[in-house]
Homo-oligomer: A and B are copies of this chain.
Amino acid sequence: MTEIEGGITTPLGFKASGVHCGIKRNNLDLALIFSEFPAVAAGMFTTNKVKAAPVMVSQRKIRRGRARLVVINSGNANACTGKRGFENAVKMCDIAARELGISSEEVLVASTGVIGEQLPMDKVEEGIKMAVKSLSSQGSSQVAEAIITTDKKIKQLAVETDILGQGKKKVRIAGVAKGSGMIAPNLATMLCFITTDACIARDALKEALQRAVNSSFNQITVDGDMSTNDTVIILANGRAGNKRIKTWRKKPTLRVEDENFEKFCKSLDYICIYLAKSIVRDGEGATKVFEVKVEGAPFPQDARRIARKVACSNLVKTAIAGASPNWGRIMAALGAAHTKVKPEKIDILIDNVLVVKRGEPAGAPLSDLRERLSKDEISMLIRLNQGDCKATFWGCDLTEKYVRINKRYV
Which residues of A are interface residues toward B (Cβ below 8 A)? 47-51, 77, 79-82, 114-117, 181-182, 184, 223-228, 312-315, 318-319, 321-322, 324-329, 331-337, 339-344, 356, 358-361, 366, 398-400, 402-404, 406-410
Residue A343 contacts which of B50, B335, B410 (CB distance < 8 angstroms)? B50
Q: How would you classify the secondary structure of chain A's contact residues: helix, strand, loop or mixed?
A: loop
Q: Which residues of B contact A81 (CB under 8 A)?
A: 360
Known: A319-B406, A322-B407. A328 touches B115 (CB 8 A): yes
Determine the residue in chain B with the shortest Cβ distance to A340.
Answer: B49
Q: Is the CB of B50 within 8 A of A331?
A: yes
Determine the residue in chain B with the shortest Cβ distance to A223.
Answer: B314
Residue A80 contacts which of B50, B227, B331 (CB distance < 8 angstroms)? B331
Known: A228-B331, A331-B115. A359 touches B80 (CB 8 A): yes
How many identical chains are in the complex? 2
Q: Which residues of B contact A339 (CB under 8 A)?
A: 49
CA distance in complex: A227, B328 (Å): 10
Q: Is the CB of B116 within 8 A of A406?
A: no
Residue A319 contacts which of B334, B400, B407 (CB distance < 8 angstroms)? B407
Determine the residue in chain B with the shortest Cβ distance to A405.
Answer: B318
Determine the residue in chain B with the shortest Cβ distance to A343.
Answer: B50
Q: Which residues of B contact A321 (CB under 8 A)?
A: 403, 407
Residue A49 contacts which of B181, B335, B398 (CB distance < 8 angstroms)? B335
